[in-house]
Structure 1
Amino acid sequence: MATISDLSKGNFVRYNGEIMQIEELQHRTPGNLRAFYQVKMRNVRNGKVAENRFRPGDEIEILRVETKEYQYLYADGESLVCMDNETFDQIYLDKALLGESVNYIKEGVTLLIAFENGATAITAEAPSHVVLEVQYTEPGLQGDTATRTLKPATMENGTEIRVPLFVNTGDKIKVDTRTGDYIERVKQ
């Protein structure tokens, strides 16, 4: 067991039986009162934020977390099949760990997956942006780029996003995986 003073931002801890990630950690010494740590933690499983005060000597379990890069191969029901780039071992990753970014990734993308004690995946992170090809969108008009008007476009993985009027079917575009927003058109 470690003490609260051993923590730093980004550490994973077990708190009330749940796996939490430290988001904010402040050491406060108010006037003539005892010092304390104000800790803001995010639950890895459901995303809820918890705040708590700890005394400097309080003990907490810091988890040993290892992150590795895996290549996303294909979807299988509610799981993604991913392969370790070094050992070629395959794992099944729950789609819920990626959140909304699971809608914007395609086969072959490298994911960053964190494991607790080398066994169970606790978090997964997609790259910040991916390049996707537009499968279908209504044709745009020549020179119609003065306004920030958007139209729907279906991507190669079946996801629909909003793109500017000048984007056509067959174009490759860069998409933000966190929000699903159009970033820019990519030249082939």
Structure 2
Amino acid sequence: MATVSDLSKGNFMRYNGEVVQVEELQHRTPGNLRAFYQIKMRNVRNGKVAENRFRPGDEVEILRVETKEYQYLYADGESLVCMDNETFDQIYLDRALLGDAVNYIKEGVTLLIAFENGESAITAEAPSHVTMEIQYTEPGVQGDTATRTLKSATLENGVEVRVPLFVNTGDKIKIDTRTGAYIERVKE
């Protein structure tokens, strides 16, 4: 077992039976009180953030986490089928691990997946942005580039996003997968 002083930002540990990732770690020595560690941690299953204080000698279970790149192949119900690029092994990944980013990924995208002790996936991360084609949007009017007015557009996978007025059907746009926001129009 490791102690709290062995932790650093980004480590995964088991806390109250749940897998959490350390987001913030501060060592504090207030005035005439004993020193303690203030740790902000995020539960990897549900995303909830918790803060707790630990004494310097408290033992914690630091998890050995391995990350690998997998290629997203297709959706199968509530799972995503992904393939290891080196061994060509396929795994089923729970859609919930990607959060809202699952709406903005398409076949062939590379995902970064973290495994606890090489067994079960605990986190998955989509690329920060993707390029997708607009299936339908109202036609743009020439000269509508000065305002920040947005209109609805349907992407190739059926998801609706807000885009500027000058974007037309058939255009390719870059989208931020964390927020679903339009970034820019992409020229081929």
Q: TM-score range by the shorter chain?
A: over 0.9
**SS of alignment partner, residue 100 of structure 2:** helix
**SS of alignment partner, residue 8 of structure 2:** coil
Q: If the length of structure 1 is used for normalisation, what is the TM-score?
A: 0.99
Residue 144 (structure 1) shift: 1.2
Partner AA of 1:162 in structure 2: R
Give the Cα–Cα distance (whole angstroms) in 1 for the partners of residues 185 and 118 of structure 2.
Answer: 39
Give the Cα–Cα distance (whole angstroms) in 2 for the partners of residues 109 and 98 of structure 1.
Answer: 13
Give the Cα–Cα distance (whole angstroms) in 1 for the partners of residues 32 and 147 of structure 2.
Answer: 59
For residues 126-145 of structure 1, the aligned pairs below 5 Å read: 126-145=126-145
Q: If the length of structure 2 is used for normalisation, what is the TM-score?
A: 0.99
**1:88-130 CA distance string (max 9 Å, x none):** 1000000000000000111110000000000100000000000
Identity level (%): 88
Give the Cα–Cα distance (whole angstroms) in 1 for the partners of residues 147 and 30 of structure 2.
Answer: 53
Aligned CA-pair RMSD: 0.6
Moved more, 80-89 or 30-39: 30-39
Give the Cα–Cα distance (whole angstroms) in 1 for the partners of residues 68 and 74 of structure 2.
Answer: 18
Counterpart in 2 of 1:102? 102
Counterpart in 2 of 1:170? 170
For residues 3-152 of structure 1, the aligned pairs below 5 Å read: 3-152=3-152
**1:19-53 CA distance string (max 9 Å, x none):** 00000000011112211101111111111111111
Structure 2 alignment gaps of length 5 or more: none
Matched, 1:185 2:185: yes
Give the Cα–Cα distance (whole angstroms) in 2 for the partners of residues 11 and 181 of structure 1.
Answer: 30
Structure 1 alignment gaps of length 5 or more: none
**1:3-28 CA distance string (max 9 Å, x none):** 00000000000000000000000001
**1:119-145 CA distance string (max 9 Å, x none):** 100000000000000111110111111
Residue 158 (structure 1) shift: 1.0
**1:138-181 CA distance string (max 9 Å, x none):** 10111111211111111111111011111111111000000000
Partner AA of 1:112 in structure 2: L
Length, aligned pairs only: 188
Partner AA of 2:88 in structure 1: F
Partner AA of 2:117 in structure 1: N
**SS of alignment partner, residue 146 of structure 1:** coil
Give the Cα–Cα distance (whole angstroms) in 1 for the partners of residues 16 and 115 of structure 2.
Answer: 20
